[in-house]
Amino acid sequence: MEKSFKVIKGDITQQKTDAVVNAANKTLLGGGGVDGAIHKAAGPMLLAKCVTLGGCKTGEAKITPGYNLPAEYVIHTVGPVWRGGDYNEHQLLADCYKNSLRLAEEYRLSSVSFPSISTGAYRFPLPEAAKIAVREIGKFLQTSKNVKEIYMVAFSDSAYLTYKHAPKE
């Protein structure tokens, strides 16, 4: 099968890919935005599992079942809080995409959906975040063996257009 990267508009909790990525915080114990929506849709078993994980560092990723979600797995990653750009935020955001995809590959998943990590409560500027996401996903797909289909699930028209037009390099 051909590999593909598609930008779509939608709700991450509705995606039927093998995994959906959660824009979590370091506690992994839930929150607002994508995190709140994923926990609500997955049900209380997800929180019960997350409690056992001991949190997650910024830029890293951990995997759990998806419970009541259509997706089989949730990959939880912690994006950087934007503090002006001089605190390694770009590298840490790239690490979120790399480490999430590395886990998906390790679990032999073929399809993964991402939300726009760090661009809500964590205030990472959207155009820069989109450039990093598109670049890292593109690089990863060049060498992945199991992961073949990646979706960026934009929640708003403006996010959709920004990802759609983000430079590929």
With vertex at residue 50, the alpha carbon angle to CA 48 and CA 55, rounded to the nearest 5 degrees, is: 145
**Shortest Å, Cβ 142 to ligand AR6:** 26
Our CB check for ligand AR6 shows the closer of 146 and 158 to be 158
- Pull the structure tokens for residue 14: 């509705």
**Shortest Å, Cβ 24 to ligand AR6:** 6
- Cβ proximity of 126 and 7 under 8 Å: no
With vertex at residue 98, the alpha carbon angle to CA 94 and CA 101, rounded to the nearest 5 degrees, is: 140
Q: Which of 51, 57, 167, 61 is nearest to 112 (CA)?
A: 61
Q: Cα–Cα distance between 121 and 113 in angstroms, integer? A: 20
Our CB check for ligand AR6 shows the closer of 50 and 109 to be 50
**Shortest Å, Cβ 115 to ligand AR6:** 4
- Pull the structure tokens for residue 24: 């979590």
Our CB check for ligand AR6 shows the closer of 2 and 157 to be 157
- Pull the structure tokens for residue 114: 């991402």
Our CB check for ligand AR6 shows the closer of 2 and 137 to be 137
**Shortest Å, Cβ 156 to ligand AR6:** 6
Q: Cα–Cα distance between 169 and 166 in angstroms, integer? A: 9
Q: Which residues are catalytic?
A: 35
Q: Which of 44, 48, 41, 49 is nearest to 20 (CA)?
A: 41
Residues that bind ligand AR6 (CB under 6 A): 11-13, 23-25, 31-35, 37, 79, 115-122, 153, 155-156, 159
